[in-house]
Chains A and B, each alone.
Chain A
Amino acid sequence: MSHFAELIDRNRVARGRQRKAANIIMLSLTGLLTALALVPLFWIIGYVVIRGGNYINLDFFIHLPRPMGMTGGGVLSAIEGTLVVTVLAALFAIPPGVLAAFYAARYPNTPLGVALRFSTDVLSGVPSIVVGLFAYSAIVVPMGHYSGLAGGAALAVIMLPTIIRTTEEMLKLVPATLREASLGLGAPEWKTSLSVLFPAASSGIITGFLLALARAAGETAPLLMTTLGNERFDIGQIVRGGLQGHKSIFSIFWSIVNQPVDSLPLALWKYAQQPYPERVQQAWAVALVLMLFVLIVNVSTRVWIQNRTRRMKG
Chain B
Amino acid sequence: MLKSKLSSRSRLGSLSRVFQHGDRPWQGVIIIISILVIILMLAIGGMLWVQSAGARVKFGWSFLAPTANPNWDPVNNNFQAWPFLFGTLLTSIFAILFALPISLGIAIFLAELCPAWLHTPLSWMVELLAAIPSVVYGLWGIFVFLPKVVAPVGVFLGDTLGQVPFLGSLLTGPIPASGASRLAASLILTIMIIPTIAAVSRDVFLAIPASQREASKALGATEWETIWQVLIPFGRSGILGAVILGLGRALGETMAVTMVIGNSIQGGVSLLQAGYTMASIIANEFAEAVSGLHTDSLIEIGLVLFIITLLLNVLARFLVWRATRQTPQEARV
Contact = CB atoms under 8 A, between A and B. Distances in A.
Given A19-B225, A130-B305, A302-B124, A122 B41 contact: yes
A129 B254 contact: yes
Contact of A268 (B43, B136, B223): B136
B150 to A, nearest CB: 13
A268 B139 contact: yes
Given A33-B101, A189-B27, A190-B22, A130 B225 contact: no
Interface string A117-150: 0111111011111110110111001000000000
Given A31-B113, A119-B37, A299-B124, A130 B306 contact: yes
Contacts of A29: 105
Nearest to B302: A133
Instruction: In the A-B complex, list the 4 residue pairs whose CB atoms are closest, starting with the nearest.
Output: A127-B252, A218-B133, A33-B105, A190-B26
Interface stretch (B78-86, B164-172, B279-287): B279-287
B253 A116 contact: no
Contacts, number: 256
A141 B51 contact: yes
A116 B251 CA distance: 24
Nearest to A116: B34
A84 interface: no
A41 B35 CA distance: 40
A121 B128 contact: no
Contacts of A118: 317
Given A103-B31, A268-B139, 18 more contacts: A30-B113, A33-B106, A38-B126, A44-B136, A116-B37, A116-B38, A122-B41, A125-B313, A128-B252, A133-B286, A133-B298, A138-B43, A189-B26, A190-B22, A218-B133, A221-B279, A295-B128, A299-B128
A220 B134 contact: yes
A247 interface: no
Contacts of B35: 112
Secondary structure of the A side of the interface? helix
Contacts of A19: 222, 225
Given A44-B140, A103-B33, A137-B50, A220 B255 contact: yes
A155 interface: no
A265 interface: yes
A221 B139 contact: no
Contacts of B287: 224-225, 228
B210 interface: no
Contacts of A102: 30
Interface string B119-133: 010101110110111
A100 B33 contact: yes
B309 interface: yes
B191 A40 contact: yes
A191 interface: yes
Given A40-B191, A221-B283, A27 B113 contact: yes
A188 B310 contact: no
B44 interface: yes
Contact of A224 (B48, B109, B286): B286
Given A127-B254, A188-B21, A283 B139 contact: yes
Nearest to B280: A129
A220 B38 contact: no
A37 B126 contact: yes
A265 B48 contact: no
Interface string B121-160: 0101110110111111111101110000000000000000
9 contacts: A19-B222, A23-B223, A43-B140, A125-B249, A127-B306, A133-B51, A134-B44, A137-B50, A273-B259
B102 A298 contact: no
A269 B27 CA distance: 44
Interface of A: 19-20, 22-23, 26-27, 29-34, 36-38, 40-41, 43-45, 47-48, 96, 99-100, 102-104, 106, 112-113, 115-116, 118-123, 125-131, 133-134, 136-138, 141, 157, 160, 164, 188-191, 193, 214-215, 217-221, 224-225, 228, 265, 268-269, 272-273, 280, 283-284, 287, 290-291, 294-295, 298-299, 302, 306
A134 B225 contact: no
A87 B306 CA distance: 27
Contacts of A37: 102-103, 106, 126, 129, 191, 194, 198
B177 interface: no
A41 B26 contact: no
B255 A221 contact: yes
Given A30-B109, A130-B305, A103 B44 contact: no
A113 B27 CA distance: 13
Contacts of B254: 127-129, 220-221
Nearest to A267: B135
B317 A121 contact: yes
A120 B255 CA distance: 24
A134 B44 CA distance: 6
